[in-house]
């Protein structure tokens, strides 16, 4: 089983506190994504769970057992690295088989499992090639094959798709999700791309400067962000934030409205503004509106809207979708 808990986990490098105290409970079989800006500590947290770094304090429990003093080789986890980290001197078969060889499995079992994993990942024709003879996507799959073949308690992914081109990334996203569902193994996935996070995760952990800002399902994060940071991080294009008088009217220090929740008309009683830039994608229209004192607001309209730069518009937010935030950034729930 692959239930993982973090209790008060801290990590410092000398005087620098990278992780400031993380508490987390990850259910067995769930797909959890660690997301956040560069330097937030998501990769460090992953490596602490893997055992590649020592914790400065706290406990890491795998199925109830504290593994803080257990070396990575004995934690029963698999990791897929951003650079794939394939063994250059071994064939694909050798790469996938290595972990099983370390575990001391008999030769026949190893071959059987390697071939099964290769079949799942469409790697069978490449089994005897060396990594340098493979494309980026193929190497990626070998890295995944190496991870799944050991039937670990959990998979750890460190930004595995960032080195792939856009089209391949979308395709691999689906494959990874499908695979995880099929194997029903816990997966912890680190990424800086919030779209990846939203589409793949059962639950998301949003990290900022070593703190866990929020832990919840994608929809929870979208509809009920815990604070300004999460609200601004999740959702693309970014939520519009307005402070000042308008915020005070809503009894808050800051209010936030997502671009898709702003209604836009040529005329009306809402906030007046002028279109600065209009982006017509066919499926959506994105408008960047200069609303004077309020600032620049982003609007998303599903479908085609015939507006261009220079047009005057009136914006009004959907009242049930206005998020309110206090002075300290935390959200105010009604």
Point out which residues bind other proteins (CB under 8 A).
Answer: 13, 50-54, 71-74, 77-79, 81-83, 85-89, 98-99, 102-103, 146, 150
- Of 25 and 87, nearer to other proteins (C-beta) is 87
Q: How far is the CB of 225 from other proteins (least distance, A)?
A: 33
- Of 53 and 213, nearer to other proteins (C-beta) is 53
- Of 77 and 123, nearer to other proteins (C-beta) is 77
Closest CA to 299 of 246, 256, 255, 261: 261
* Cα–Cα distance, 171 to 179 (Å, whole number): 12
Residue 306 has which token pair?
A: 């015939």
Q: How far is the CB of 216 from other proteins (least distance, A)?
A: 29
Q: How far is the CB of 83 from other proteins (least distance, A)?
A: 6
Q: How far is the CB of 164 from other proteins (least distance, A)?
A: 17
- Of 67 and 257, nearer to other proteins (C-beta) is 67
C-alpha distances in angstroms, 109 versus 97, 113, 115, 145?
A: 10, 6, 10, 16
- Of 83 and 251, nearer to other proteins (C-beta) is 83
Q: How far is the CB of 66 from other proteins (least distance, A)?
A: 16
Q: Helix or strand or coil: residue 281?
A: coil
- Of 59 and 224, nearer to other proteins (C-beta) is 59
- Which residues are paired to 155 by β-bridges? 78, 187
* Cα–Cα distance, 255 to 228 (Å, whole number): 9
Q: How far is the CB of 105 from other proteins (least distance, A)?
A: 11
Residue with tokens 């089983």: 1
Closest CA to 88 of 55, 127, 60, 130: 130
Contact (Cβ atoms closer than 8 angstroms) between residue 315 and residue 266: no
Work out whether strand 312-317 and strand 240-243 pair parallel, antiparallel, or are unpaired. unpaired
CA atoms within 13 A on the CB side of 245: 4
């Amino acid at each position: 089983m692959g239930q993982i808990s973090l209790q008060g986990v801290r990590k410092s490098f000398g005087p620098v506190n990278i992780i400031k105290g993380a508490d987390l409970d990850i259910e067995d079989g769930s797909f959890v994504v660690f997301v956040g800006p560069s330097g937030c500590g998501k990769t460090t947290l992953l490596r602490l769970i893997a055992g590649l770094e020592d914790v400065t304090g706290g406990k890491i429990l795998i199925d109830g057992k504290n593994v803080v003093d257990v070396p990575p080789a004995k934690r029963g986890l698999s990791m897929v690295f951003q650079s794939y980290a394939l063994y250059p001197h071994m064939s694909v078969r050798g790469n996938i088989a290595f972990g099983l060889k370390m575990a001391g499995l008999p030769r026949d079992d190893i071959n059987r499992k390697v071939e099964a994993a290769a079949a799942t990942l469409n790697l069978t024709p490449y089994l005897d090639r060396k990594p340098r003879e493979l494309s980026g996507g193929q190497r990626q799959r070998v890295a995944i094959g190496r991870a799944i073949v050991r039937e670990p308690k959990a998979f750890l992914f460190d930004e595995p798709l960032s080195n792939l081109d856009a089209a391949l990334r979308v395709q691999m996203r689906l494959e990874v999700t499908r695979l995880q569902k099929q194997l029903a193994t816990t997966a912890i996935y680190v990424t800086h791309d919030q779209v990846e996070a939203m589409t793949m995760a059962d639950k998301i952990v949003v990290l900022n400067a070593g703190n866990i800002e929020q832990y919840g399902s994608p929809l929870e994060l979208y509809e009920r962000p815990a604070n300004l940071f999460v609200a601004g991080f999740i959702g693309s294009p970014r939520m519009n934030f307005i402070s000042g008088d308008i915020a005070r009217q809503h009894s808050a220090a800051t209010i936030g409205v997502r671009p898709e929740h702003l209604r836009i008309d040529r005329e009306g009683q809402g906030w007046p503004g002028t279109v600065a830039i209009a982006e017509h994608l066919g499926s959506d229209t994105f408008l960047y509106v200069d609303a004077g004192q309020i600032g620049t607001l982003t609007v998303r309209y599903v479908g085609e809207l015939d507006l261009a730069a220079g047009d005057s518009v009136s914006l009004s937010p959907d009242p049930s979708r206005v998020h309110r935030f206090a002075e300290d950034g935390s959200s105010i729930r009604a």
